[in-house]
Amino acid sequence: MSGSVKMKGKTIEEATEMALQVLGKQRDEVEVKVINEPESGVLGVFGGKEAEVEVSVRIGLGEEARATIQEILDKMNFLTLVSLKSEEEDTINLEVKGEDIGRIIGRAGATIDSLQYLATIILSKKHEKRVRVVVDAEGYRERRQKIVIEDAEKAAKETEETGKEKALLPMSASDRRIVHLHIQEKYPGLTSFSRGEGANRQVVIDKKK
């Protein structure tokens, strides 16, 4: 059973245990919110108040990320459906489908990058560990990766020929990551690093010293 239930009991522990039985879950699979602490009545009999708790089933990290992006898009009045593509350790891949996909992606992927950055920050802070959320829409990430790698290839070959560093145009953190990984894997004689601040941050490719 999924969802949450409210339950009363003489103690918080008793109310929690009864809720666990209803949900069919173990203690480490739920979150417990105390609604009311138990209170003793007059002479321990009259006017007492039972403990009351709300016990909710914990959802997986991937489902939590999906729900976070869905809620943000709903509040932005986009008609979309967010689905969980894959979840590997602390990396979650989501897919967005629906209307106005162009607006959701934004210019050079600015909007969709902001969405995944926001979800990454929210979940990382909540779970006190690094959680990477990747949001895609209609294959945008694959198309963008191809363009970024083509630009990185041109810059890398120019650096090899001239021996001089080559700076790419400013790009997002996710695009810079693509460049860094590509140079590391394909060009052992070259190195790459980021330079600049904010929207002007760019990748520089140079020969290893």
Residue-level pLDDT at 95? 96
Q: Which of 2-6, 56-60, 76-80, 118-122 has the lowest mean pLDDT?
A: 2-6
154 — pLDDT class (breaks 50, 70, 90): very high
Please identify, in words, the CATH class of the domain defined by 61-138.
alpha beta
pTM, full prediction: 0.67
Mean pLDDT of 148-177: 95
* Residues β-bridged to residue 82: 96
Mean pLDDT of 162-170: 96
Residue-level pLDDT at 43? 54
Q: Can you tell me the distance from the alpha carbon of 118 to that of 33, in angstroms, rounded to the nearest whole number? A: 26
143-207: CATH architecture: 2-Layer Sandwich (3.30)
Q: Can you tell me the distance from the alpha carbon of 73 to that of 30, in angstroms, rounded to the nearest whole number? A: 27
| All structural domains of the chain with their residue ranges | 4-57, 61-138, 143-207
Give Cα separations from 189 to 159, 166, 185 (angstroms).
10, 14, 10
1 — pLDDT class (breaks 50, 70, 90): low
For residue 44, pLDDT beyond 80: no
| Nearest-5° Cα angle at 88, 82 to 92 | 30
Q: Can you tell me the distance from the alpha carbon of 155 to that of 206, in angstroms, rounded to the nearest whole number? A: 9
142 — pLDDT class (breaks 50, 70, 90): very high
- The SS3 call for residue 10 is coil
For residue 41, pLDDT beyond 70: no
- The SS3 call for residue 169 is coil
For residue 170, pLDDT beyond 80: yes
| Nearest-5° Cα angle at 200, 136 to 170 | 55
User: What is the chain's mean pLDDT, rounded?
Assistant: 91
For residue 167, pLDDT beyond 60: yes
Q: Can you tell me the distance from the alpha carbon of 85 to that of 65, in angstroms, rounded to the nearest whole number? A: 11
Mean pLDDT of 153-181: 95
